[in-house]
């Protein structure tokens, strides 16, 4: 599969993403998707994505939790290290999970440094606006690029009372605007706008000097992000309105496993062509596999 690098060697960096906002050249939208394991990350990277996010959505998409709140920093590091091995072109960003940046600035910076040093991520994502201004500035001072996240912030689900569209009232919209301005002022290189009215997202995008990445925020943002499992219809129980499913892997996997079970029970798998006929043949196969 081929792709056209955005610039230079093709490796995308946080400054590259930031430069998309004010580039005099015709600019394309920024494409972002989540990943939580090596094979998925490799396929996504080879497909030409700009940003791959190791999101705390791993809690709901992979680990079976009802929210992102139980996800730990060690969980994110574990999954980010696997994703890192598969990513060579896209910018690799990781969520700072709930509890990893809420106690003190010093501990928060230390936790972000762990993501960079132990997992090899190139930027971190922080939920929250005005209240995170000092933290974002401290991380930027520590030379850790930061992606902001305002609107619906899933880590605040208990305070928000559920997964609801944010910014519907005039006061709520003004607060999201203030949050976005604070994230930009603190030095973030981009900002996620989640589950806000299209008109509000368009206004923030027009006024912002950093790229906006939408999820449930309409088409006027500078880029879009989706959870991988939603995008490919893999194991998702609820499909939000903003999701477009580009494949249905759940049905394909169910069909494949059902066919496998039927073949095994009928004695049709493995066939002669799928069997080894000598120890020498097996050894040659194993050696070939190690050379790949």
Residues with active-site annotation: 194
CA–CA distance, 120 with 115 (Å, rounded to integer): 7
Angle at 73 between CA 67 and CA 75, to 5 degrees: 70
In a 13 Å sphere around the CA of 219, the CA atoms on its Cβ side amount to 2
CA–CA distance, 128 with 148 (Å, rounded to integer): 7
User: Tokens 């939603």 — which residue?
Assistant: 230
Rounded (10°) angle between helices 170-186 and 133-141: 20
Do residues 93 and 123 touch, judged by C-beta distance below 8 A? yes
CA–CA distance, 217 with 220 (Å, rounded to integer): 8
Sign for the pseudo-dihedral over CA of 230, 92, 225, 150: positive
């Amino acid at each position: 599969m081929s792709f056209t690098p955005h610039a230079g060697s093709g490796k995308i960096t946080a400054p590259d993403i930031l430069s998309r906002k004010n580039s005099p050249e015709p600019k394309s939208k920024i494409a972002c998707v989540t990943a939580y394991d090596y094979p998925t990350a490799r396929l996504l990277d080879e497909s030409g994505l700009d940003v791959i996010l190791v999101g705390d959505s791993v809690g709901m998409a992979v680990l079976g939790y009802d929210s992102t709140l139980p996800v730990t920093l060690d969980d994110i590091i574990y999954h980010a290290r696997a994703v890192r091995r598969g990513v060579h072109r896209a910018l690799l960003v990781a969520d700072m999970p709930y509890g990893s940046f809420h106690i003190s600035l010093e501990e928060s910076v230390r936790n972000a440094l762990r993501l960079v040093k132990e997992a090899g991520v190139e930027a971190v994502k922080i939920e929250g606006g005005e209240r995170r201004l000092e933290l974002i500035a401290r991380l930027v001072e520590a030379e850790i690029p930061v992606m902001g996240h305002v609107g619906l912030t899933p880590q605040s689900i208990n305070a928000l009372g559920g997964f609801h569209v944010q910014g519907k009232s005039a006061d709520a919209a003004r607060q999201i605007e203030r949050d976005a301005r604070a994230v930009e002022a603190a030095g973030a290189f981009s900002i996620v706008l989640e589950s806000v009215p299209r008109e509000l997202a368009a206004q923030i995008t027009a006024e912002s000097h950093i790229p906006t990445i939408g999820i449930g925020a309409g088409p006027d943002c500078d880029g879009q992000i989706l959870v991988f499992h939603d995008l490919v219809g893999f194991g998702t129980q609820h499909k939000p309105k903003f999701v477009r499913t580009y494949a249905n892997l759940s049905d394909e996997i169910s069909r494949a496993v059902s066919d496998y079970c039927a073949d095994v029970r009928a004695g049709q798998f493995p066939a002669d062509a799928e069997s080894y006929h000598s120890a020498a043949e097996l050894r040659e196969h194993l050696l070939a596999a190690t050379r790949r």
